[in-house]
Amino acid sequence: MIRPAVQDSITKLVGNTPLLRIRLFEERHPGLEVYAKAEWFNPGGSVKDRAALAMIEDGERRGLLTRDRIIVDSTSGNTGIAYALVGAAKGHRVRLVMPANVSAERKQLISAYGAEAVYSDGLEGSDGAIRLVRELVAEHPERYFYPDQYNNPANPRAHYLGTGREILEQTGGRVTHFVAGLGTTGTFTGTARRLKEHDPSIRTIAVQPDDAFHGLEGLKHLPTAIVP
């Protein structure tokens, strides 16, 4: 779990994030222990660094991502930041399709890492970005490496091998419940699979917005969205 004092690439800083004990709930419910996985310790500031790095390195290993291809995918923000960061570190060009109404801070971060942004209709949310990126890839398939974060098995695998393993190590396997929001579903499915292999009685709880127009970047209302 302890990283070396010096690393030769920012990608080596992805993962191995700490757990933060949340005392507020314990005051109300004696005996309860609640921990948050502090994914903001990743260099890109979110859990999405794990999946982006895994999908890009999987593409490199399989020969699908070469220097003459542009990494392209849809994003509502955090995965885009992660793609841009990893792409910059590895010398790949990155083009991101995202709703026009994502936060200014996310647009600025993506630009700072040197990625190009293409904006879809903000009213169509993440589904609109998915449709647009599929059109771009269909027009010029030879130009792009399209990880397709919503359907790429390297996404949940990153959490099966990383997030879930870390949680078990950090808690000594003392886990009764796991809760995560749903976007691509990669974090939830990959982590939950690893935890349930350890103990099938662990309850895994997925959280989604209760309305299609929720305004929460990165989360999906699955009954009305393109399902991963």
pLDDT tens digit sequence for 33-68? 999 999 999 999 999 999 999 999 999 999 999 999
Check residues 46 and 185 and name the one with the higher pLDDT. Answer: 46
First to last CA, the chain: 31
Q: Tell me how far apart the alpha carbons of residues 94 and 86 are, in angstroms, rounded to a whole number.
A: 9
pLDDT of 210 over the 80 cut: no
Please check whether residue 120 is in contact with residue 100, taking contact to mean a CB–CB distance below 8 angstroms.
yes
Q: Tell me how far apart the alpha carbons of residues 52 and 29 are, in angstroms, rounded to a whole number.
A: 37
pLDDT at 193: 98
Phi-psi region of 144 (alpha: psi -120 to 50; beta: other; left: phi over 0): beta
Q: Tell me how far apart the alpha carbons of residues 194 and 201 are, in angstroms, rounded to a whole number.
A: 12
**Cβ atoms within 10 Å of 92's Cβ, excluding its own:** 21
Give catalytic residues, as residue numbers.
48
Question: CATH for 48-145, among 3.10.310.10, 3.40.50.9100, 3.40.50.920, 3.40.50.1100?
Answer: 3.40.50.1100
Please check whether residue 153 is in contact with residue 140, taking contact to mean a CB–CB distance below 8 angstroms.
no
pLDDT at 197: 98
For residues 67-73, give the mean pLDDT. Answer: 98
Beta strands in 121-226 (DSSP E): 144-145, 177-181, 203-207
Q: Tell me how far apart the alpha carbons of residues 202 and 175 are, in angstroms, rounded to a whole number.
A: 7
Locate 52 and state its tokens.
């982006």
pLDDT of 179 over the 70 cut: yes
pLDDT at 218: 60
pLDDT at 192: 98
In Å, how far are 154, 190, 202 from 175, measured between CA atoms? 25, 16, 7
Check residues 83 and 126 and name the one with the higher pLDDT. Answer: 83
pLDDT of 227 over the 90 cut: no
pLDDT tens track for 211-222? 655 555 666 555
Q: Tell me how far apart the alpha carbons of residues 159 and 180 are, in angstroms, rounded to a whole number.
A: 12
Rg (alpha carbons) of the chain, rounded to whole number: 18
How high does pLDDT run on average in the chain?
A: 92
DSSP state of 71: E
**pTM for this one?**
0.90
pLDDT of 2 over the 90 cut: no
pLDDT of 138 over the 70 cut: yes
Name the residue ranges covered by the structural domains of the chain: 48-145
